[in-house]
């Protein structure tokens, strides 16, 4: 039972050590975490600068794992490149050795007359706890509470070490035999270091345990060097597991380069020890000498520093190895173009707002293609369903969302640099077009989701419904194409063709809804199908609304009088007697309604399909009246939305 209680006591001391290290690290990170991130984000492309910065950050927060996890996050957010992260990773490995140097204070042994007596762990630990609790309980400032957390963590850490040392001294002979076994079996020592560090998830904690053993019963160089090398490997495995969760390929490479470096570092350390023994640099006396806590800290520091200095010039090699291990995910050609456009959003262009806005507009142009492709994919799901296509649709949607967020942030951040009215109007047009194309992408996804719901219910549209939808989809293909070409060429003449076509599509959607209602009330189609059909038509109509908005924004570029008066302009356009507008409307109307009227009904002919010419004219007039009423409602609704946005 004595062994059991000793083990429990040892684990209790270890728990205090780990908790103290966590509290101290959290306190340091809370006080300097923002500054650390800013410093890491500003690192240059020089590996030496990254190395020094990574070492400094790891020293301050006393955790290479935390430093590398922050670095991985900054790489994923685009604040750091993978190339910049390599030097930081190497430096973090060295910086974490500072914890072992702090723990060596346990070796301080001097009388009360010596100034060093103050630095004995037995004295520093309770003093740090007193200072910490005073700061936390009696001082209200947030700064003092942070200092209190760091001090308490420091005290708890050393109390845990002292407790472990006391326990270890009780069964020191057994530990001596265990470590002696490692001196004759380096592979076993190495693997034990990897395994224990993987379980404890802290190289500092494992080295601290070795230091507590060294302070109590002493350890030899031959017994611990392989264990310490294994500790370094186990530390990087833990970091990799933490860093790769949900990470992008470039982030996983940063975590992998940590492993690659430590593997090379371990090989170098073993070679240095082997060469040292063969050449006599590591003498028999040193090989078998008893090390105290400070000796263990020095070996740990050397095994961290020497390989880092030797491997720093070869950071490019490790970078390439990591890139070969973690391949880029397959990227579609349109995704490459989109990513390239996003990469061109350089804040250094802010000094020239016109150029910065042109770059943002390039992203919107790419979004126009992606949104159109997603609409086409959604339509193809209706006529030629492929479950794999759903994944691509969602990928495009995620890409559109990312492009919207990044470009919106970029254009808004540009605002302080925009001083000219022409640039201000350009900025507004880019932001509005950006949102419109993001919304068109959403509407395409909505159509795809309606198709998926229909299939999950084992329902299908009738041939007549499919043929009618095809007419509507063809009109959307056209309006998307005109809008995209107009936006890319900044052509007001092309943009002017959008509004009459949008009106025709509104009439078309109303006619298709009327036909489908007829089929439903006469039990010629399934009611569930009818709901899906009408929902698809609603999304189709909303796509045309967004195309209309984009067209108006384009025309603003040539006619400043439209800016801020978009709704009035559209209202006047609908009620104008412009021959160009009326002719365009008539041509588009004939094109799509002739195509629609050629579709046979699934039962007796619908009245408006086979009516005489005079009745057709009457129907056309009635539709025109309904169209005017619907347009007025639409304009009121849009005006209300505009006023709500203004508020």
DSSP for 436-451, written as a single string: HHHHHHHHHHHHHHHH
Residue 469 token pair: 């939808």
Q: Pick the residue with more confidence: 151 or 361?
A: 361
Q: Whole-angstrom Cα distance, residue 607 to residue 585?
A: 24
Q: Pick the residue with more confidence: 530 or 595?
A: 595
How far from 562 is each of 187, 418, 552, 557, 568, CA to CA, in Å? 78, 21, 8, 9, 8
- Burial class from Cβ neighbours inside 10 Å (0-12, 13-18, 19+) for residue 202 reads buried
DSSP 421: H
Within 8 A by CB and 6+ apart from 412, the residues are: 431
For position 445, what pLDDT does the model report?
94
Within 8 A by CB and 6+ apart from 152, the residues are: 20, 23, 24, 128, 129, 132, 133, 136
Of 75-79, 373-377, 404-408, give the lowest mean pLDDT range: 75-79
Question: Which single residue is written with the structure tokens 């025709």?
Answer: 504
The ranges of the chain annotated as CATH 1.20.58.220 are: 334-458
Closest CA to 562 of 577, 578, 551: 551
For residues 315-333, b (16+ Cβ closer than 10 Å) or e, as one string? beebbebbbeebeeeeeee
Q: Whole-angstrom Cα distance, residue 108 to residue 291?
A: 14
Q: Pick the residue with more confidence: 40 or 16?
A: 16
For position 29, what pLDDT does the model report?
54
Q: Per DSSP, what are the bridge partners of residue 290?
A: 220
CB 611 within 8 A of CB 621: no
Q: Residue 199: pLDDT band by 50, 70, 90 thresholds? A: low
Half-sphere exposure of residue 142, counting CA atoms within 13 Å on the CB side?
3
Average confidence (pLDDT) over 522-530: 72
For position 112, what pLDDT does the model report?
53
Judged against a pLDDT cut of 70, whether residue 144 lies above it is answered with yes
For position 64, what pLDDT does the model report?
75
CB 132 within 8 A of CB 148: yes
Q: Residue 442: pLDDT band by 50, 70, 90 thresholds? A: very high
Question: Which single residue is written with the structure tokens 């709704």?
Answer: 567
| Among 20-24, 141-145, 236-240, the range of highest mean pLDDT | 141-145
Q: Whole-angstrom Cα distance, residue 564 to residue 647?
A: 15
Of 3-12, 217-226, 564-573, give the lowest mean pLDDT range: 564-573
Within 8 A by CB and 6+ apart from 217, the residues are: 168, 169, 172, 173, 175, 176
CB 556 within 8 A of CB 421: no
Q: Whole-angstrom Cα distance, residue 379 to residue 444?
A: 9
DSSP for 310-345, written as a single string: HHGGGHHHHHHHHHHHSPPPP--HHHHHHHHHHHT-
Closest CA to 52 of 419, 328, 305: 305
For position 249, what pLDDT does the model report?
79
Judged against a pLDDT cut of 60, whether residue 124 lies above it is answered with yes
For position 609, what pLDDT does the model report?
32
Within 8 A by CB and 6+ apart from 250, the residues are: 75, 76, 82
Of 182-186, 254-258, 291-295, give the lowest mean pLDDT range: 182-186
The SS3 assignment for 353 reads: helix
CB 311 within 8 A of CB 261: yes
DSSP for 465-489, written as a single string: HHHHHHHHHHHHHHHHHHHHHHHHH
Within 8 A by CB and 6+ apart from 613, the residues are: none
Residue 242 token pair: 């933490």
Judged against a pLDDT cut of 60, whether residue 615 lies above it is answered with no
Q: List for the chain the helix, strand, coil content (%; round to 5).
A: 85, 0, 15
How far from 81 is each of 173, 310, 341, 545, CA to CA, in Å? 51, 23, 17, 41
The SS3 assignment for 617 reads: helix
For position 105, what pLDDT does the model report?
62
The full 3-state SS of 37-78, as one line of letters, equals: HHHHHCCCCCHHHHHHHHHHHHHHHCCHHHHHHHHHHHHHCC
Judged against a pLDDT cut of 50, whether residue 356 lies above it is answered with yes
Share of the chain above pLDDT 90, in %: 20
What's the farthest any 2 CA atoms get from each other in the chain?
Answer: 118
How far from 145 is each of 125, 135, 137, CA to CA, in Å? 18, 6, 8
Judged against a pLDDT cut of 80, whether residue 310 lies above it is answered with yes
Average confidence (pLDDT) over 240-253: 69
For the chain, count helices (H), then strands (E): 27, 2
CB 65 within 8 A of CB 235: yes
For position 616, what pLDDT does the model report?
41
Q: Whole-angstrom Cα distance, residue 91 to residue 59?
A: 10
Closest CA to 303 of 194, 230, 218, 212: 230
DSSP 219: E
Average confidence (pLDDT) over 334-355: 80
Of 370-379, 453-462, 638-647, give the lowest mean pLDDT range: 638-647
The SS3 assignment for 291 reads: strand
Does this model's pTM top 0.75?
no
The SS3 assignment for 220 reads: strand
Average confidence (pLDDT) over 606-635: 46
Average confidence (pLDDT) over 58-75: 71
Of 125-134, 474-483, 607-616, give the lowest mean pLDDT range: 607-616
Q: Whole-angstrom Cα distance, residue 128 to residue 156?
A: 9
CB 55 within 8 A of CB 36: no
Mean pLDDT score of the chain: 78
Task: Give per-residue pLDDT as tens, 155-198.
Answer: 886 677 667 666 655 554 454 455 555 666 788 888 888 887 77
Judged against a pLDDT cut of 50, whether residue 613 lies above it is answered with no
Topology given in CATH for the domain delimited by 334-458 = Methane Monooxygenase Hydroxylase; Chain G, domain 1 (1.20.58)
Q: Whole-angstrom Cα distance, residue 448 to residue 445?
A: 5
Q: List alpha helices for 326-457, DSSP H.
A: 333-343, 353-383, 387-413, 421-456
Q: Pick the residue with more confidence: 123 or 350?
A: 350
Q: Whole-angstrom Cα distance, residue 100 to residue 242?
A: 23
Of 110-119, 237-246, 608-617, give the lowest mean pLDDT range: 608-617
Judged against a pLDDT cut of 90, whether residue 42 lies above it is answered with no
For position 631, what pLDDT does the model report?
53
Q: Pick the residue with more confidence: 42 or 471?
A: 471
DSSP 497: T
Of 25-34, 138-147, 610-619, give the lowest mean pLDDT range: 610-619
For position 252, what pLDDT does the model report?
83
Task: Give per-residue pLDDT as tens, 565-589.
Answer: 666 676 666 666 678 888 988 999 9
Q: Whole-angstrom Cα distance, residue 88 to residue 6?
A: 41
Of 185-194, 450-459, 519-528, 604-613, give the lowest mean pLDDT range: 604-613
């Amino acid at each position: 039972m004595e062994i059991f209680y000793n083990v429990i006591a040892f684990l209790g001391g270890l728990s205090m050590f780990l908790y103290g290290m966590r509290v101290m690290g959290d306190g340091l990170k809370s006080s300097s975490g923002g500054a650390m991130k800013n410093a890491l984000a500003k690192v240059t492309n020089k590996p030496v600068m990254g190395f020094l910065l990574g070492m400094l950050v790891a020293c301050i927060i006393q955790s290479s794992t935390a430093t590398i996890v922050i670095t991985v996050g900054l790489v994923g957010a685009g604040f750091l490149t993978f190339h910049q992260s390599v030097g930081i990773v190497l430096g973090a490995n060295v910086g974490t050795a500072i914890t072992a140097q702090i723990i060596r204070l346990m070796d301080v042994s001097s009388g009360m007359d010596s100034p060093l007596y103050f630095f004995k762990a037995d004295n520093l630990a309770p003093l740090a706890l007193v200072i910490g609790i005073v700061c936390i309980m009696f001082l209200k400032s947030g700064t003092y509470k942070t200092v209190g957390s760091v001090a308490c963590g420091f005290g708890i850490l050393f109390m845990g070490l002292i407790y472990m040392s006391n326990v270890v001294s009780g069964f020191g002979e057994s530990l001596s035999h265990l470590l002696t076994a490692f001196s004759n079996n380096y592979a076993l020592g190495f693997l034990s270091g990897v395994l224990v560090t993987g379980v404890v998830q802290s190289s500092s904690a494992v080295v601290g345990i070795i230091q507590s053993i060294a302070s109590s019963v002493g350890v030899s160089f031959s017994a611990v060097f392989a264990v310490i090398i294994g500790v370094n490997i186990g530390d990087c495995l833990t970091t990799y597991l933490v860093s790769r969760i949900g990470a992008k390929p470039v982030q996983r490479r940063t975590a992998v380069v940590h492993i690659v470096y430590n593997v090379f570092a371990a090989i170098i350390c073993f070679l240095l020890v082997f060469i040292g023994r063969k050449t006599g640099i590591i003498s028999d006396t040193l090989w078998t000498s008893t090390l105290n806590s400070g000796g263990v800290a020095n070996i740990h520091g050397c095994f961290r520093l020497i390989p880092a200095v030797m491997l720093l010039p070869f950071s490019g090699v490790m970078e390439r190895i990591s890139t070969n291990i973690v391949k880029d995910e397959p990227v579609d050609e349109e995704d490459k173009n989109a990513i390239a456009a996003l990469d061109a959003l350089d804040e250094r262009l802010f000094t020239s707002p016109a150029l910065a806005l042109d770059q943002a507009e390039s992203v919107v142009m790419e979004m126009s293609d992606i949104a159109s492709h997603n609409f086409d994919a959604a339509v193809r799901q209706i006529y030629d369903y492929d479950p794999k296509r759903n994944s691509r649709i969602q990928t495009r949607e995620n890409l559109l969302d990312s492009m919207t967020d990044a470009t919106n942030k970029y254009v808004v951040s540009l605002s302080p640099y925009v001083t000219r009215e022409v640039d201000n109007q350009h900025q507004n047009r880019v932001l509005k077009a950006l949102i419109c194309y993001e919304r068109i992408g959403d509407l395409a996804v909505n159509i795809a989701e309606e198709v998926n719901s229909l299939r999950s219910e084992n329902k299908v549209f009738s041939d007549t419904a499919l043929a009618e939808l095809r007419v509507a989809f063809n009109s959307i293909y056209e309006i998307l194409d005109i809008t995209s070409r107009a936006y890319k060429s900044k052509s007001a003449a092309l943009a002017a063709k959008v509004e009459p076509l949008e009106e025709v599509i509104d009439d078309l959607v109303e006619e298709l809804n009327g036909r489908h209602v007829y089929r439903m009330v006469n039990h010629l189609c399934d009611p569930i199908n009818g709901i899906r059909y009408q929902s698809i038509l609603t999304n189709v109509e909303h796509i045309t609304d967004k195309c209309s908005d984009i067209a108006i924004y384009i025309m603003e570029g040539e006619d400043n009088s439209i800016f801020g008066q978009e709704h009035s302009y559209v209202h006047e356009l609908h009620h104008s007697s412009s021959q160009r507008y009326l002719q365009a409307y008539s041509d588009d109307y004939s094109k799509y309604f002739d195509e629609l009227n050629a579709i046979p009904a699934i039962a007796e002919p619908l009245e408006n399909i086979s009516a005489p010419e005079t009745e057709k004219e009457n129907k056309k007039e009635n539709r025109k009246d309904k169209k005017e009423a619907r347009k007025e409602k639409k304009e009121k609704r849009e005006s209300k939305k505009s006023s709500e946005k203004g508020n």
